Every structure is written in C-alpha cells, then in structure tokens.
Structure 1
C-alpha cells in the first residue's frame, strides 16, 4: 500500500500570517521595509503580517506607507514594544498605538532585565540594544508588586482585543502578567521564543497554554540558510510536547543579511513535514492560530 504524499509546501503555507517581522524602518539595519516584506509575502499569498520594532510604534510607519500598501494583498499591522525608547510601561503610548489600529503590545524586550542577563555584552544582538542598568524598564515597584501602569496597559489590551506578549521577560514575570491578563478576559497572549533569552521550559509553557496563551517559535532560528541556532527536529519536539493548537510559527526576520520570511517559512516548513509533521498541523500554526490572534478573518 502506497502512502499518500504531502501536498506541496507552498500549498500548505498559502495564506499564512507572520506575527513577528522585523522589517524597517528601524535604527538597526534592515534587509527590507514593511512594504517590501508584504509584497514578497505574495509568493505564498501571505494573508497578514505584524511588524515589530524594539524602538517605536510601528503603526505610524504603516500610516506613512499607506499609499505604497494600497495595492498590496498582504494586510500589515503594527504594534508597540514597551522599551525605554517609548517611555517604558507607558499607557499613553499604548493607548495611541492601539486606538490607531495597533494589534499587539510587547512588554519590554531589550529593556528587560532578563534580556540584559542573557546578553550582558550584546552577544547575539547589536551592542546598542543592551541598555545601561539605569535604562532597564522595571515592571515592579520596590515591594515586588507590578506597577500600576502594567495593569493600565492590560486594561487597554483588553479594551482593544489586542495581543499581549511577555516580551523578553523573566518567566516568573510572564506568568504573573498572563495571570492578570487571563483574569481580565484577555484571549490573545503570546510567549515569544521561549528557549531563546527567556528560558521557559515546556512544562512552564504548558502552564501558559492552560491560561490560553500561545507559544511562538521563530523559523528564522531553525533555517539552515539563516544563521540557524537549532535543528528543526528540536522545533518538532516542542510542537509535539505543547501541541499545534497552542503553537505559532513566526519569522523574527528582517535583519540585514538574513533570509526573507517566505524562504525561511518554506525551508523550515518542509523540514518539519519531512520529519513527519502532518500538513494540517503546520497550516494551523502558520495560518489559523496567527489569524485568530490578529483578529483577521479568512
């Protein structure tokens, strides 16, 4: 009896959504801008793309590029990362971003203490991303409680049905953040690259998924032609342990000299299929789950 072959990888990935694209403009050198990334996504009929900057509210970029995006099929969304450059945990900046169409709030990334602990000399990131201790954005007061601004931001996320990400936070901070988010009825929570910088193991990620969170892995970290950190077999192990229903695959690409997201999705997606991942599971992680998080219909 002959086993049925998998459909072509382009068919499986068709209509995907990328929740983590580092296109430009940015203070860091970028391989492409938001419009170029969205246009290139047309090779896989990319349905949506979420663009992220460590430094600024990307909704403003997209408004400035509105004319160039008018004829692009891929729908592009922005968000805000709560690093020192936007005033840290700044409800005013979050309110402006979300009320102007932003779909995501990332709690501190390179302004988090966890990021500095993981990259004290800038290893793996441009040196400029590592802030001095005085520029670390705190989430807690002197007594150890979350700052009032954290709760204000979560209220805004709930009001606007946005995504809340734990950023590059310590696992314990992300746990408490998601606990408060769940209590508010927030349905769109994401932990990014748990095995990079953050250091959250599968057991802890299971706890996050029980709160309703999704675990995001970055294909750029598993792409054999993109400065690969790990073998796709490790990614498959994560998927099997956490479950595709709780997993999202995103690119985390855009940095100068690295692949286009479409190419990384294609290579890593094919590798996962070759390792035995069912095509329906891959499609769920690159299309169905991220579209739910972005509030984009088919």
Structure 2
C-alpha cells in the first residue's frame, strides 16, 4: 500500500495540529460521552498506551482470551480524534464499541475537550511524563510514524518542542492546563509516568480506587506481569507492529520505556538552554516532574 505524504503542521485555534486530528472536528465536538466512559488523556508519548492496556486488562481480561490475542489495542481503546482516509474515524469506532465502560484515548488539550465529557461527569485519567523524556520519545516516534510531520534533526526538533510547534501543541501548556483543571474537578485523576515506573502496583491500586473498581490481588498481579515493558514490546496487539503507518525498521513504537533516557540525547548546552526555558514556563505552577529516578 502506498502511504500518503507526511502531513504539515498548521495553527488550529492557537494549537499546532495536522489534518488527521482536525478533519472530523464537528463530530468530535458533538461526541456523546456517557457517565461510565473512561477517558485516558495525555500529551503524545507520555504513557497513554500503557494505561490503556492496564485498564483494558482490569476490565476485560476475564473475557475470551481470543480478544487479548487477536484484537489490537487501538480497536479496544479507540482514539477519539483520529480521522484517516480508508479507516473508520475514532468517533465511528466508539459508536460501534459494545463494551461497557468504553475506554477512550485522546491527546486533546483540555480546552478542546467535547463538552459532553464534562456534562456527563465521565471519569478522566490524565497521564503526564517529564518534558525531557517526552521530547526524546516524541522525536523517535516522529521518525518512524508516517502520519506525523518530518521531524528533522534532533537539535531542530528539540527547539520546536520548546516552542510548542508540535502536533497537539505545547507540552508545557498541555500538562499545566490539565493540572489546573484537575485541581477543580474530582473526576480527573492525574497520573505521572515516573510513578507508574517506580510503583506500578501502587498506581494500579490508585486507578482502581478512583474508578471504584474491585480488583483481586491475583488480577492485579496478572496485570502487572502483562504490562511490564518487555512483555508489551513483544506483544503484537500493543507494540504497533500491526500499524501500517509505523516503520519499526526506523525505531520501535515501544522503544525503551525508561526514565532518564534524555541523558543519552541532550548535549550539555541543550540541557542548560532547556532548563532555563523550563524555569520560565513553570514559575507560576506547583506542578513538578521527576527527570531521574
């Protein structure tokens, strides 16, 4: 199959986007959420796939094993805003979904959220990852994802990241705006990727508590085993190998899954510039990230 050319970035209501996430905008905004929907929101490359898989296992691992072995995660947890030629849109996929609750993925900034999620008081889990590791992961993702704009070299990509000229906009604005919303909305749970790495069991228990889900110790143990990074990396239902837009010969969709890999990419000068810029952008918030464990 011949792939279309890579998309170009454009300004969409003040946020950098591509047509893959804006072409279906009216239907996205009119999307009818349900009170039992669970939305997993994040900036790209922050652990959305990981949390999607954790929740899918918590709710549906008791269903037929065939489902786990034959239905890709992107079909089990549809991507709300995606719209590509020759494929059903995320909105269409969600309308067809027969599981309750529906588990839904989004990368939308908080100001772009369909109103029905707020009106129906759906549960929202926001996953955040430190800026440096996110930038590195996003860079390698853009290298291998033909649905993303051409990344250029690492140095120019990093500067673009700092300027917020990325698909779904500025990381800084994204994580801060969701944090602010979380502070006044009890239906949002804010999870940190670094905490999930450091204490997977504790964070899964937090998820269960937030969702009112009674999970046995045995189920949680099984989930922890299955969502270990090395297991997910070899699982064709979650590792991106079935997605024809991803070129795994360039980089893996699931690459390292570590905290602190940024140290292998940032030069001393890049790190100093980044830290200085970061301080300015984060001076008026109490949101804090770990960049090493």
Q: More relative contact order in 1 or in 2 (CA 8 Å, sep 6+)?
A: 2
The normalised TM-score by structure 2 is 0.31
The normalised TM-score by structure 1 is 0.31
